[in-house]
Structure formats: structure tokens, C-alpha cells
């Protein structure tokens, strides 16, 4: 099946990850569309991270007129751990009917000092204070440095997108609306029908 996919980002790592994920299952034409997430450079908490991913997906689909819009947002979300949060990537895939499927990546604990900064809105790249040409967010990511290249940010993102595609690949009978998922996450994101675009 041939599909047009718009990724709501200006980050080439996210773009490549979405392209690889969709290309495993579809004949996909993928474009990168710069959109605002509405959550700032370093979102945190389920509301911020999921809300940012949803907003990116909806805005990308609307701007590009594509079959699917994809939003990927990363940040610490509440989870039982030493600091009460884990760093994760959340992927949202929205279709023209404003139905959305969600996937998350493997996640990991962040040092408390770094977590405190991130919860105050400091981007992880600056919070970890690791210098790298091109910036961590557009290369291997902190996870790539921490795992000595065993897992990269692109791989985390690709896995999150693949997880978000499972309900579509399996033909789930019910897929929630953007508003339903936003409400569950405690975020405010709306999607008018994208079918006419």
C-alpha cells in the first residue's frame, strides 16, 4: 500500500527513524515538516511528552495533507524508578480521521541531577553536558553515548514508531481519537477531520 507520511520535525534523526519504520510495512513517501510542538524544547511528564507528540502529528498531517502525520517527542515521564521518571520516546501516528495510535521506546533512568534540570525545561543535551559536534539530539543521542553505541536515538525512535503502527498493522477494531488520548494524558490537543486535506 502506498502512503504519504508527514513527520512533524526538523530533526533528521527523527525523520530517518520514521522513514525506516514505515518502509518496513508500506510503500511510503515520507516528508519532514517543521511544526511547533506547543510544549517547549524539553517536555516532561506524560502530559507534556504525549501532548507534544500528538500536536506534532496533527500539525504535520494538516500542513502536508498526508495520509499519516507522525509526531515524536522525548522526555522524562512518570514511572517507578530511583528518580520517579524514565526518559522515553513517544510516537503518535494520526490518520485523516483523527484516529491516533501511540508507541513508546525502550526507556531508561536519568541521573537525578540531570532529571532535575530536565524537569525545569533544560534540554537533555545541555543537562548532561556532553559536548558533541552536531549536538546529541541530532546524532546518537545520550543513549548512544551511554550505551557506547549499542543503541542509538534513531533506533529508539524507530522502535517507538513501529510500536505505534501495531494497531494499524493488526487491524484493531477500535482506534482512539486524538482528543481521547490527549484527555487520558492530561493534555489539550484537538484534531478536526483531516479527510478533506
pLDDT, tens only, 160-196: 999 999 999 999 999 999 999 999 999 999 998 665 3
The answer to whether residue 195 is domain-embedded is: no
pLDDT tier at 133, thresholds 50, 70, 90: very low
What is the DSSP code (8-state) at residue 39?
Answer: S
Per-residue pLDDT, averaged over 69-89, amounts to 96
Which pLDDT score, from 0 to 100, does residue 78 have? 97
- Candidates 106, 42, 33; CA nearest to 74 is 42
Q: What is the pLDDT of residues 87-99, one digit of tens each?
A: 999 999 999 999 9
> Would you say the pTM of this structure is higher than 0.75?
yes
Which pLDDT score, from 0 to 100, does residue 68 have? 97
The answer to whether residue 191 is domain-embedded is: no
User: Domain range for residue 76?
Assistant: 2-185
- Whether residue 85 is predicted with pLDDT greater than 80 in this model: the reply is yes
Average pLDDT along the chain: 91
Residue-wise DSSP of 119-167: HTT--HHHHTT---TT-GGGTTHHHHHHTTTSS-HHHHHHHHHHHHHHH
The answer to whether residue 192 is domain-embedded is: no
Domain of 15, CATH number, reads: 3.90.950.10
Which pLDDT score, from 0 to 100, does residue 197 have? 35
CA distance 179 to 168: 18
CA distance 83 to 160: 23
The answer to whether residue 24 is domain-embedded is: yes
Q: Is 173 annotated as a binding residue?
A: no
The answer to whether residue 193 is domain-embedded is: no
CA distance 151 to 1: 30
* Least confident stretch, 60-74, 133-147, 154-168: 133-147
Counting the structural domains of the chain, the total is 1
Amino acid at each position: 500500500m502506498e502512503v504519504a507520511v508527514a513527520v512533524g520535525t526538523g530533526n533528521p534523526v527523527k525523520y530517518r527513524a520514521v522513514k525506516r519504520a514505515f518502509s518496513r510495512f508500506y510503500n511510503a513517501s515520507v516528508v519532514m515538516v517543521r511544526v511547533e510542538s506547543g510544549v517547549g524544547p524539553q517536555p516532561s511528564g506524560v502530559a507534556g511528552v504525549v501532548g507534544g507528540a500528538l500536536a506534532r502529528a496533527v500539525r504535520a498531517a494538516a500542513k502536508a495533507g498526508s495520509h499519516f502525520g507522525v509526531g515524536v517527542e522525548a522526555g522524562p515521564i512518570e514511572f517507578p524508578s530511583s528518580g520517579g521518571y524514565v526518559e522515553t520516546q513517544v510516537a503518535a501516528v494520526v490518520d485523516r480521521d483523527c484516529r491516533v495510535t501511540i508507541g513508546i521506546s525502550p526507556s531508561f533512568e536519568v541521573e537525578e541531577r540531570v532529571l532535575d534540570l530536565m524537569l525545569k525545561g533544560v534540554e537533555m543535551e545541555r543537562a548532561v553536558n556532553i559536548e558533541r559536534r552536531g549536538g546529541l539530539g541530532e546524532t546518537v543521542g545520550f543513549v548512544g553515548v551511554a550505551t557506547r553505541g549499542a543503541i542509538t536515538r534513531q533506533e529508539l525512535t524507530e522502535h517507538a514508531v513501529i510500536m505505534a503502527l501495531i494497531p494499524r498493522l493488526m487491524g484493531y477494531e477500535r482506534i482512539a481519537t486524538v482528543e481521547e488520548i490527549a484527555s487520558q494524558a492530561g493534555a489539550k490537543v484537538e484534531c478536526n477531520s483531516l479527510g478533506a486535506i
